[in-house]
Amino acid sequence: MATIKEVAEAAGVSIATVSRMINQNGYVSNEAEKRIAAAMEQLAYESPLARRLAGQNMPAIALMLPDITNPFFAELARAVEDTCQQQGCVVFFCNSDHQDFKEKSYLEVLRKRHIDGVIFASNYLPQEELNKLEQHRIPVVVLDRSSDTQKCSLIRSNNYEGAQMAVKHLMDTGCRKIAHIYGPQEIATAKERMNGYEDYVKSFPWYTPSLMAPGMFLMEGGIQAVDTLLHRHPDIDGIFAGNDLMAIGVLKALHRKGVRVPDDISVCGFDGIKLGEIIEPELTTIAQPIYEMGKCAANILIKQIKSKNDKALLEIIEMNVSLHIRDSTRKDSEEQ
């Protein structure tokens, strides 16, 4: 973070002149003002004035998403955008594609173009990058991901408990051999949902680790996982997919194989995206409060921007998920 002294040196003026300009108090020549403003912008000097020069009172934040084609993130984006618009702020969406080098490129470009804040709904956020953002006093909110650091606010939902709700619902409605399709294990949410499943089922005699298969959080991954799982265990009668996109792939794959849902196999997803109500059969799922999560993240970030990134405002919020019972799971308990 640049000091007033550095700005003064870069602009070739005295510290007192820079100070007069910052405070908008006392005479500063036009030429000096231009040079100081330019130096401030170049050095990423953060002051209300420099910010005004970059964005003229229209702050810009970035929302880093791992996959713009996943409706879960499109719905999150919708909420972040609505909230920002109400507060006179624009949002740029960045699609990291689960690739750390893309996140690094984005962050570098964003810093150089004076972004005012970043919401991270993506996988990586290495300490080094977080430090750079902090140096530039750019506040960060982490959304739907874990964070080991105390340096930024965090909004997430209780994935572990949600996964257990899913498995309990499948068992309550008569399933006796439940498989799990999990997302990329480097993503905290995927890991927590898998742990929730495993801890719930591991004491049952039917459980074996080969009831778990990867689906990459993608629709295609769900389709492929069904092949793997039914080949290993033709007697599966319930599938808990770690996100709705994979669950929709599961429904497609089962339909192609002539397997009836929920009569032969019940399916439960996780997320609560709108698409789950459009497909047939409509998808039972563990719904996150997607809109609320996005809104909350945007509000916290904007509050931090307005407070000049006051660390006292850091918050950690865990939201509750809820079971939405639709047509892809059975209605009545058969036994139990």
CB 167 within 8 Å of CB 155:
no
* Distance in Å, CB of 150 to a second copy, minimum: 29
Residues at the site binding a second copy, with contacts judged by CB under 8 A: 9-12, 31, 34-35, 37-39, 41-42, 53-56, 58, 60, 62, 68-69, 71, 74-75, 77-78, 81, 85, 90-95, 97, 102, 105-106, 108-109, 112-114, 219, 248-249, 252, 255, 275, 278-280
User: Least distance to a second copy from the beta carbon of 119, Å?
Assistant: 14
DSSP-derived pairing of the beta strands 117-120 and 60-65:
parallel
| Smallest separation, CB 191 to a second copy (Å) | 26
Of 139 and 196, nearer to a second copy (C-beta) is 139
DSSP letters, 156-185, are EE-HHHHHHHHHHHHHHTT-SSEEEEE--T
Q: Which residues contact 203 (CB under 8 A, 6 or more apart)?
A: none
- Look up residue 43 and give its DSSP letter: T
**Closest CB to a second copy among residues 85, 131:** 85
Distance CA 329, CA 207 (A): 20
**Residue with Cβ nearer a second copy (34 or 202):** 34
CB nearer a second copy, residue 252 or residue 324: 252
The strand ranges marked E within 31-152 are 60-65, 90-95, 117-120, 140-143
Nearer to a second copy, 91 or 140 (CB): 91
The Cα 118–Cα 239 span in angstroms is: 36
Nearest distance from C-beta of residue 18 to a second copy, angstroms: 13
Q: How far is the CB of 36 from a second copy (least distance, A)?
A: 9
Q: Which is nearer to a second copy, 102 or 151 (CB)?
A: 102
Kind of pairing between the strands at 322-324 and 284-287:
antiparallel
Q: What is the C-alpha end-to-end distance of the chain, expressed in Å? A: 63
Q: How far is the CB of 239 from a second copy (least distance, A)?
A: 17
Bond from prior residue into 214 cis (ω within 30 degrees of 0)? no
Least distance between a second copy and beta carbon 9 (Å): 8
Instruction: Pick between residue 37 and residue 211 the one whose CB is nearest to a second copy.
Output: 37
Neighbours of 172 (CB within 10 A): 14
Report the largest interatomic distance among the alpha carbons of the chain, rounded to a whole angstrom. Answer: 85
